């Protein structure tokens, strides 16, 4: 699945979401939200972002999401990939700086589709 197809999916989680408005974890979360996506923030540091409940991990979400967007260091990302496998989540969007060979290999071995790119660029100025 390419980025265009992933963007057609409407339930997302942003891992690495933050309430720091200067960070990509905030900007990406808000852009998806403002474009009509159901988007859940995953953050170990924040209890809420923009008035929305933040969750500590994917298993805490009230529903299964279609796509998980990574805004975290690859060292953290591999554990998130394992959570995706356990939860049956098959689409992962890898922001610049979140990719490692280990993550890509794990995704291939477990039939998880990955797309590398920036959601902000993909959505444009919407």
Banded pLDDT at 126 (limits 50, 70, 90): low
Q: Tell me, what's the pLDDT at 2? A: 75
Q: Tell me, what's the pLDDT at 4? A: 82
DSSP 49-110: ETTEEPBSSGGGSSS--SEEEE-S-HHHHHHHHHHHHHHT--EEEE-TT---HHHHHHHHHT
Q: Find the mean pLDDT for residues 32-49.
A: 96
Query: Considering the entire predicted model, what is its pTM?
Result: 0.95
How far apart CA 76 and CA 82 sit, in angstroms, is 11
Q: Find the mean pLDDT for residues 33-51.
A: 96
CATH superfamily of 3-123: NAD(P)-binding Rossmann-like Domain (3.40.50.720)
Q: Average pLDDT over the chain, rounded to whole?
A: 95
pLDDT(1) > 80:
no
Q: Find the mean pLDDT for residues 62-75.
A: 96
Q: Find the mean pLDDT for residues 89-115.
A: 96
Q: Tell me, what's the pLDDT at 3? A: 80
């Amino acid at each position: 699945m390419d980025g265009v197809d992933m963007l057609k999916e409407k339930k997302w989680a942003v891992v690495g979401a933050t309430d720091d408005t200067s960070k990509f974890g905030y900007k990406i979360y808000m852009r998806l939200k403002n474009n009509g996506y159901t988007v859940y923030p995953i953050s170990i540091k924040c209890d809420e972002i923009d008035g929305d409940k933040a969750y500590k991990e994917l298993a805490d979400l009230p529903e299964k999401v279609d796509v998980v967007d990574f805004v975290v260091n690859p060292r953290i990302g591999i554990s998130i990939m394992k959570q995706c496998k356990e939860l049956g989540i098959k689409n992962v969007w890898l922001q610049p700086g979140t990719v490692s060979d280990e993550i890509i290999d794990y995704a291939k071995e477990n039939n998880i589709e990955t797309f590398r790119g920036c959601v902000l660029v993909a959505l444009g100025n919407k």
